[in-house]
Structure 1
């Protein structure tokens, strides 16, 4: 057991031994109001057991709801190679527009949903969104023309726009800064699982072609939509609005959650809604630079995850082979991201790992674009998958841990995601015709631009840390306009 630093005697030191069980020692830490408060430091083993319990309940729920969301969003890539455009009389340009139009409402609703999450409560917000997009997916199985597809994609985007920012905010309500990258990684792993599972599921469901007089692609929408309905019910009954009072925790574990909340007081801040915090987020250079990076990374995420079956099909494979050959690619990307996320949390390093993952993506797209054999091009998709998931996930975590308090962070995540997800509009337009040279070349260029932006953001954050250190030492006057939340002198940004 570690010993506590020298400090003045506090009332807690007068407790008897029984009363001091599970209270190893206390230390003074700053709260959100920069007032010194005596806060318990938890037994590391007890806290590790608590984290394991939190993960065992929260992570499966969060992963399932995001899995269903991404399945319902990206299955348009699966039905494309299964004959949907021909059945509804959609031209190549009209179908590309249908892919892109999803992001018109998606980006418009991200920031509002993120800000409203806490006021409407996570359970009500997430369940409602899940049920509506699930029903929309089911009804997509009965579309007969391009107008119906446009309408369905717009409704889908309006609902799904609130999920990713909402889930990220929920994670910040449960976990500390140094615990978040691996939990965010679970969300992005879901995109990989959705790709792999979606390809396998589509492969199996397409065998239902003709059953009930319906085409196989219609069954893809109907069955995946029904699956999502059940996930919505799970969210309602299993996701607590207040993680500190979660139904599956014992009284001692709830006490530990309250201690963790006090330890994170500076990071979480006031529970009261504040327009001033939203204005601070809009003026924060970190948010804008992070959004620009995320836009570049999402060009890959949306283009790759939506059109991978088509990209593989352009290498000489038939539509069925294209479905199941996506599975190992997605799994590789998901596993690599989890490994980098664990390393990121362990080292509290973010930006350099985003740049490292992008190197693999640059190599992968070069292999796909160059006049190489189809086998080498397929190998390139594995390299691409490392950057496709690790880049956006680690960059988002980088923003999560560097913005405080809650409503400033909610606005920051919402605005960053709004900027980033306009990439979906672009992705739908650059992947039009085989062999998708424009789309792959554009993705390669986006990665190169992202590398320069990452270096710029890293240098900016490092300069902010150094300025705080100089102010703390009294070397320079504190002329900063924002001095609260992550602007406090003892809030150290992760690089």
Structure 2
């Protein structure tokens, strides 16, 4: 549903032009669908590649573990190695959680073209250095600072996209962007399998080359990104003057993206005081544990089913490939129906089937099918959960902070998850699979509650609009607009 009216999808050259503020002179000669394609081609490729590299650089540690990393950096002491490895995974998410909100504050006070590539450059350097660590302390510090550097990308991009697209257009773009995570998982297995054959080159083991080559690739792309990432519609060089004005007009009818809003600490506090923001955070919290335990431990889970390390690397590809297809398919369905909660709950239920298979079956083939169901349910649900506050929170600073809060709260689940797949619980990993299943069930409950809250608030807003005889108009031009508290702002459910 639109920002101001439940079924508003305002387009130029209609009888509604005067009502919604489109200027005939601005709209003349501009094909809106062609302009959207132009935005997609210019904005999404660099962002998607950056996130693909981000997910690749955080999860390739699971591939490196299979290639002898724990032995080479002296973690190989009885069963302690596996649990020391988990400590490094935990430190990554601690760094991630602590710095997400500060990173989005910096983004709001600088520009995307400067901040997003700089983050990428820093984590690319750290990821490369993981390939030359010589001891356990080097492994721990590298993982922590990798989390710090990567923390600003996802919440920053979700906010960034909300400044370019109408609300009903944002979810598909966020889902397309997030689908890079599943692509990273698929490519990661193939890349790790290929790079591991470099064992001995330069006197280095194969796992070191995984970190070094993938990290250097990130550094290279980050330099290109300084010229590839754009700022906001008002200054984008690839748009004509008429296109910039048209984008501003269409966003005024639908969101707060074109309002001239200064950064204020009161808006930051407003995000912390809104119960719905905490529910968005819990919605991701209940997904982050299964998401990151699957991405970090899938090669190990498959190997413990009885496959060799090399085959486990390759068998990690199909679950991610299925997840990629379903993430896009579910996103399209959610966008067309303009519904969020039912698709999240349905996808989580599909993930539950996967973990039930993993918990109840000891046959390798059936358990492997369980990993496919798990990935196929987790990734589509996460894509919708992460786009929800970008659709519903207003104004700009509050939304910027809400995006970061959601991922910070969410990744606390990942912190817990990194300690669940312990060496002593292999090969069936009942503890880890059980927690993942429980979290997916909890996600269905949390999303149900949030769905009811949003529908109730929409009903109240409808009554207020009728009582106050409010005329639906342009958000950008309403002087007394109250953000998402305003009766003229309708939540997407």
Match of 1:444 in 2: 437
Structure 1 residues 259 and 102: alpha-carbon distance in aligned structure 2, compared to 1, 3 A threshold = same
Matched, 1:115 2:105: yes
Matched, 1:459 2:444: no
Task: Report the alpha carbon displacement of residue 209 of structure 1 after superposing the two structures with TM.
Answer: 0.4
C-alpha distance in 2, partners of 1:333/1:50? 29
Q: Which residue of the other structure, out of 261, 265, 280, is the alignment partner of 2:270?
A: 280
Match of 1:28 in 2: 19
RMSD after superposition = 2.0
C-alpha distance in 1, partners of 2:202/2:71? 20
Match of 1:486 in 2: 484
Match of 1:134 in 2: 124
Match of 1:177 in 2: 167
Match of 1:327 in 2: 317
C-alpha distance in 2, partners of 1:139/1:45? 49
User: Contact 1:186–1:338 at 8 Å: present in 2 too?
Assistant: yes
Report the 3-state secondary structure (helix = DSSP H, G, I; strand = E; otherwise coil) of the residue aligned with 1:330: helix
Structure 1 residues 224 and 275: alpha-carbon distance in aligned structure 2, compared to 1, 3 A threshold = same
Task: Report the alpha carbon displacement of residue 83 of structure 1 after superposing the two structures with TM.
Answer: 0.8
User: Contact 1:68–1:231 at 8 Å: present in 2 too?
Assistant: no
Task: Report the alpha carbon displacement of residue 265 of structure 1 after superposing the two structures with TM.
Answer: 5.0
C-alpha distance in 2, partners of 1:201/1:65? 17
Match of 2:59 in 1: 74
What are the superposed Cα offsets for residues 438-471 of structure 1, whole Å, 9 maximum, x if unpaired? 1111000001111111111101111101111122
Structure 1 residues 45 and 375: alpha-carbon distance in aligned structure 2, compared to 1, 3 A threshold = farther
C-alpha distance in 2, partners of 1:430/1:121? 39
C-alpha distance in 2, partners of 1:388/1:150? 28
Residues 362-401 of structure 1: matches in 2 within 5 Å?
362-401=352-391
TM-score with structure 2 setting the length: 0.90
Unaligned runs of 5+ in 1: 1-21, 30-36, 476-481
What are the superposed Cα offsets for residues 22-77 of structure 1, whole Å, 9 maximum, x if unpaired? 86662334xxxxxxx66669579811100101111211101111111111111111
C-alpha distance in 2, partners of 1:318/1:469? 60
C-alpha distance in 1, partners of 2:211/2:333? 37
Task: Report the alpha carbon displacement of residue 267 of structure 1 after superposing the two structures with TM.
Answer: 5.4
Match of 2:150 in 1: 160
C-alpha distance in 2, partners of 1:45/1:124? 30
Match of 1:473 in 2: 466
Matched, 1:218 2:241: no
Count of paired positions = 462
Match of 1:34 in 2: none
User: Contact 1:304–1:388 at 8 Å: present in 2 too?
Assistant: no
Match of 1:358 in 2: 348
RCO higher in 1 or 2 (8 Å CA, sep ≥ 6)?
A: 2
Task: Report the alpha carbon displacement of residue 361 of structure 1 after superposing the two structures with TM.
Answer: 0.4
C-alpha distance in 2, partners of 1:231/1:405? 32
C-alpha distance in 1, partners of 2:336/2:67? 44
TM-score with structure 1 setting the length: 0.90
C-alpha distance in 1, partners of 2:124/2:434? 34
- Where in structure 1 do 4 or more consecutive aligned residues deviate above 6 Å? none
User: Contact 1:39–1:262 at 8 Å: present in 2 too?
Assistant: no
Structure 1 residues 132 and 408: alpha-carbon distance in aligned structure 2, compared to 1, 3 A threshold = same
C-alpha distance in 1, partners of 2:340/2:40? 22
Unaligned runs of 5+ in 2: 1-11, 76-80, 469-479
Structure 1 residues 38 and 138: alpha-carbon distance in aligned structure 2, compared to 1, 3 A threshold = closer
User: Contact 2:167–2:255 at 8 Å: present in 1 too?
Assistant: no
Task: Report the alpha carbon displacement of residue 488 of structure 1 after superposing the two structures with TM.
Answer: 1.0
Report the 3-state secondary structure (helix = DSSP H, G, I; strand = E; otherwise coil) of the residue aligned with 2:271: helix
Report the 3-state secondary structure (helix = DSSP H, G, I; strand = E; otherwise coil) of the residue aligned with 1:422: helix
Task: Report the alpha carbon displacement of residue 375 of structure 1 after superposing the two structures with TM.
Answer: 0.8
User: Contact 2:345–2:447 at 8 Å: present in 1 too?
Assistant: yes
Structure 1 residues 257 and 267: alpha-carbon distance in aligned structure 2, compared to 1, 3 A threshold = closer
What are the superposed Cα offsets for residues 141-185 of structure 1, whole Å, 9 maximum, x if unpaired? 111111001111111111100010011111111111000111111
